[in-house]
Structure 1
Amino acid sequence: MELNGKIWLAKSDEKVFLEPKMANRHGFIAGASGTGKTITLKVLAESFSQLGVPVFLADIKGDLAGMCKAGVHSESMEKRINKLGIEDWRYRVFPTRFWDIYGEYGHPVRTTVSEMGPMLLSRLMDLSDVQSDVLNLVFKIADDKGLLLIDIKDLKAMLRYVGENRAEFSAEYGNMSAQSLGAIQRSLITLEDEGGAEFFGEPAIDIRDWMQRDEQGRGYINVLHSVKLVQNPTLYATFMLFLMSELFEKLPERGDAEKPEIVFFFDEAHLLFSDAPKVLVQKIEQVVKLIRSKGVGIYFISQSPSDIPDSVLAQLSNRVQHALRAYTPSEQKAVKTAAQTFRTNPAFDTQTAIMELGVGEALVSCLDENGVPGIVQRAFILPPQSRMGTITDEERRAVIDASDMKHKYDKAIDNFSAYEYFEQQNGEPEKEEERAVKQVEREEKKAARNAKKPTAAAKTVKKKKSAASKAMTRVTNSAMSTIGRELGRSIIRGIFGSIK
């Protein structure tokens, strides 16, 4: 909860605070299942909202939706409030917006194929290195021609176009085998069956809509319903990584500020790094390092620090460690690793304490106002002020219907794009050739009537036949320049291959 402009997170012998000006140094919440990670996440999200900092988080289990309702008093809550010595306790409603890739439990979240880019799309479709290289070339051709790929049917049309002109493009861009193009098309069909049709389209999400405040100055808490999404771990991880890249590419440099512009909570963070190629992990590390200067705080949530690569873990300065169990040698190693990430407190043994922590109890270390890691404290996390658990479908629907995002995102729009362009161009050559042939016929009739000028008539007929034969060529050659004018803009790609 917010107290004197700081985040009061936990209580040991003394209050444990998170300094807002250090919140963009990122953080990590760890612990075994059922030890209180979700409560810690809620308390942090509520506190940031009170400070006027918008929040984005993924609701993996469906139990974070209660933030839109005030908490309910109970005997157990009263005991915890008294135990922690919290004065002036209040249950609160927090400004909340619900989102859902599938559009079932929140406003739809969409992006375009062009905006996601080839690197993340390759991982999403589980392409081989060779197939990823070919997809990069397909995007390069589309970018060079000014073709924006909005949805899956646009990418299918682009793949067909490249396949039909493979020899020409291979000479200019490099070899693209028919086998690789076919494999990409098959992977695209699988992606479409898994929900890609809903994910790719317009209106695409504007990341700035997640960075708003209500009339009281509180930051909106944006909850992405992820119960269904997380059943496809690759889609979940790729989408969250795309959102990180959007924040990184779209936000201006801010330097050090009194509080973040937005805080991003990434639950089940191990999914991001599972089977991720080395080059992708390096780019994630780079984003985590640099994004804090954009005013963004990223908080990873997972069971153990060992789930996160050391190069990324080293960037996470504010840490909350809930209990870990150590029944196997690998689990004992994980506990030792977790203990070593904290600044030692002479009052207790950190490694032993991790295995003794109760539910709602944690080891906490945050940066102080000078950026120095605090000595680890064994403390009890404060209770959330909003409702524990989930809400009813009726309550959720009421929040969605009252949101000013409803009219912007709830209805899909199918704008003119690559698919429609190729469909249009496929019809135009036939029409032009038909017109030319009819003109030739008229000239032939005219020549027959004008027998006195056979040479002139023959020349006219020959000229018109030449126009008919060149009709297809003229339309084809002008195709790409036309779409470039209609959709035209310079496409520049960022660190993950997404559009800047």
Structure 2
Amino acid sequence: MSKTEAFKKLLAEGQVYKKDFIVLGTGMLDGYPVPQAQVKVPLKTMNRHGLIAGATGTGKTKTLQVISEQLSLKGIPSVVMDLKGDLSGLAQPGQLNDFIQKRSDVIGVDYQPSGVPVELMSISEEKGVRLKATVSEFGPVLISQILDLNDTQQGVIAVVFRYCDMNLLPLVDLKDLKRVLQFISNEGKEIIKKEFGQVSSASVNTIMRKIIELEQQGAERFFGERSFEVQDFVRQKDGKGVVSVIRLTDIQSTPKLFSTFMLSLLSEIYETFPEQGDADQPKLCLFIDEAHLVFSTASKDLLEKIEAIVKLIRSKGVGVYFCTQTPTDVPESILGQLGLKVQHALRAFTAKDRKAITKTAENYPDSEFYDTAKVLTQMGIGEALITALNEKGIPTPLAQTLVRAPISRMDILTNHEIDALVNHSDLVKKYNEEMDRESAFEMLEEKLNQVEKEQEKATLPKPSIPKPRPRAKEEESLFEELSKNTMVRQLGRTIFRELTRGILGSFTGRRR
């Protein structure tokens, strides 16, 4: 048996699928594609997470585009992070040319240019559905992460959230958070001291400065109402899964906001989605571009929580795919949880690069057909080493793969096309309405004004006929007053039905 026939036989035996699958490309040997040696990934294992890695310009984004559009054609929605702006082209058909036709013929797939349903979203000033969340929903862990607080300062934030949870004070935006911080270090200082212990004014002042710095980076546009419901990610249109493209081209200067947003999204999906069990296909796939931003500044405690979510979220029918330059950008504890691995070329310009390539090669199964470390530096654009899990959960043979071309546009949308998508979006109408409901800031101001009026009234001259003077209100009375009038008014989705927080400190059981 020839080397080519042995290779095709190995792939065929490792990829016998009874359920549905997607085709990513065709296998290659000695730098040339092998016809009829398709590299397939079963939908059944797409909730086992994955990695798309490679140097800049090697085709990572196009591979991400191929996977998301193929999932869409199977009716599976996905969420993709678009940091470079070129994934919006998913909404429009691609353009057939001789190069693409030849590649498709070699792979054995029919190339039919087609767009897929796309929903444009943003956490900043980009056009599209505004993704927002309240400070209360973010929780103390993620707020501390985004503010880069030390242990002492994190303790202050924990006190703030605990106090607001106990007294049903909704922390909707950063204005609310700053007002409660002012309260616990001024008017409510003794209340907090009695209930939770002494809070350092110096720590409060440092946190206030960091909040102001965050506001200057535009974070006030993200914190507020109406909070996004993650169930709106799971939609179909004309039988195709909707691809939610989160536009982040203007977020490069605020990586902390991006990374913390991603963590909150993972936490929200984990806490909200029901258990799905062992289904034939995933409910949702999430592609995190520039994944190193999520891990580079995370504390050890936070990394453990992320690892726990990645392990458990697959039972909710959700696959998480990390896109980055090298696998070493992802912690080993998480890397070991990934089923699909797509490795584009790496460049060995320095001694450090060569060491990284050697370490990267060790993350892939041994192959009798490849010197993995050597192939990593020799692959061209649009080629990748791929291994996945078969339907039994066993890794498929490693294959250098000529990746199929996207059927959607490999370029950005025009401003006119973006405007058309946004104008016809039902979610834009739902979430882009400006809201500023009564929350912790207004409630504290109202109650403190009432206390001041009562104190002023107590200082008025007494009547000539002596009467028993009512006892002055103690500080506990203020505590009680602050907790009375809270949730009678509608507060959108900031509804405190259960004061229970999830794995990253976000509320569980709070959605309707």
Using the size of structure 1 for normalisation, the TM-score is 0.91
Once the two structures are TM-superposed, the CA of residue 171 in structure 1 deviates from its matched residue by: 3.2
The match for 2:214 is 191
2:13 is equivalent to residue 6 of structure 1: no
For the pair shown, which has the larger CA radius of gyration, 1 or 2?
A: 1
Instruction: Point out the structure with the larger helix share.
Output: 1
The match for 2:465 is 458
The match for 2:43 is 20
Checking the alignment, whether the CA contact within 8 Å between 1:21 and 1:259 is kept in structure 2 is yes
Checking the alignment, whether the CA contact within 8 Å between 1:27 and 1:300 is kept in structure 2 is yes
The match for 1:107 is 129
RMSD over equivalenced CA pairs, Å: 2.0
Checking the alignment, whether the CA contact within 8 Å between 1:147 and 1:483 is kept in structure 2 is no
Checking the alignment, whether the CA contact within 8 Å between 1:100 and 1:107 is kept in structure 2 is yes
- 2:347 counterpart SS class: coil
- 1:229 counterpart SS class: coil
d(CA) in 2 for partners of 1:260, 1:416: 39
The runs of 5 or more residues in structure 2 that have no matched partner are: 1-17, 28-33, 489-494
Letter in 2 for 1:94: V
Checking the alignment, whether the CA contact within 8 Å between 2:156 and 2:203 is kept in structure 1 is yes
d(CA) in 1 for partners of 2:451, 2:246: 47
The match for 2:338 is 316
Q: 1:283 to 1:478 in 2, by over 3 A?
A: closer
Once the two structures are TM-superposed, the CA of residue 432 in structure 1 deviates from its matched residue by: 4.8
Once the two structures are TM-superposed, the CA of residue 4 in structure 1 deviates from its matched residue by: 8.2
- 2:392 counterpart SS class: coil
Q: 1:158 to 1:369 in 2, by over 3 A?
A: same
The match for 2:483 is 481
The match for 2:358 is 336
Once the two structures are TM-superposed, the CA of residue 19 in structure 1 deviates from its matched residue by: 0.6
Once the two structures are TM-superposed, the CA of residue 219 in structure 1 deviates from its matched residue by: 1.1
Checking the alignment, whether the CA contact within 8 Å between 2:174 and 2:220 is kept in structure 1 is yes
The runs of 5 or more residues in structure 1 that have no matched partner are: 445-456
Once the two structures are TM-superposed, the CA of residue 478 in structure 1 deviates from its matched residue by: 3.6
The match for 2:308 is 286
Cα shift readout 1:339-373 (whole Å, capped 9, x = no counterpart): 11222221221111111101001111111111100
The match for 2:506 is 498
Checking the alignment, whether the CA contact within 8 Å between 2:169 and 2:483 is kept in structure 1 is no
The match for 2:444 is 422
Checking the alignment, whether the CA contact within 8 Å between 1:260 and 1:295 is kept in structure 2 is yes
- 1:29 counterpart SS class: strand
Once the two structures are TM-superposed, the CA of residue 8 in structure 1 deviates from its matched residue by: 0.7
Checking the alignment, whether the CA contact within 8 Å between 1:256 and 1:293 is kept in structure 2 is yes
d(CA) in 2 for partners of 1:49, 1:185: 44
2:404 is equivalent to residue 400 of structure 1: no
Q: Point out the more displaced range, 155-164 or 429-438.
A: 429-438
* Counterpart pick for 1:37 among 37, 45, 60: 60
Count of residue pairs brought into register by the alignment: 476
The match for 2:259 is 237
The correspondence of residues 251-270 of structure 1 with structure 2, limited to 5 A, is 251-270=273-292
Using the size of structure 2 for normalisation, the TM-score is 0.89
Once the two structures are TM-superposed, the CA of residue 47 in structure 1 deviates from its matched residue by: 1.0
2:225 is equivalent to residue 202 of structure 1: yes
Once the two structures are TM-superposed, the CA of residue 434 in structure 1 deviates from its matched residue by: 6.4
The match for 2:98 is 75
The correspondence of residues 123-272 of structure 1 with structure 2, limited to 5 A, is 123-164=145-186, 165-214=188-237, 216-272=238-294
Q: 1:472 to 1:285 in 2, by over 3 A?
A: closer
Identity rate, percent = 38
Q: 1:262 to 1:475 in 2, by over 3 A?
A: same
The match for 2:394 is 372
Q: 1:140 to 1:379 in 2, by over 3 A?
A: same
Q: Point out the more displaced range, 477-486 or 274-283.
A: 477-486
Large movers: runs of 4+ above 6 Å = 434-438, 471-475
d(CA) in 1 for partners of 2:338, 2:197: 41
d(CA) in 2 for partners of 1:475, 1:130: 29
Letter in 2 for 1:169: I
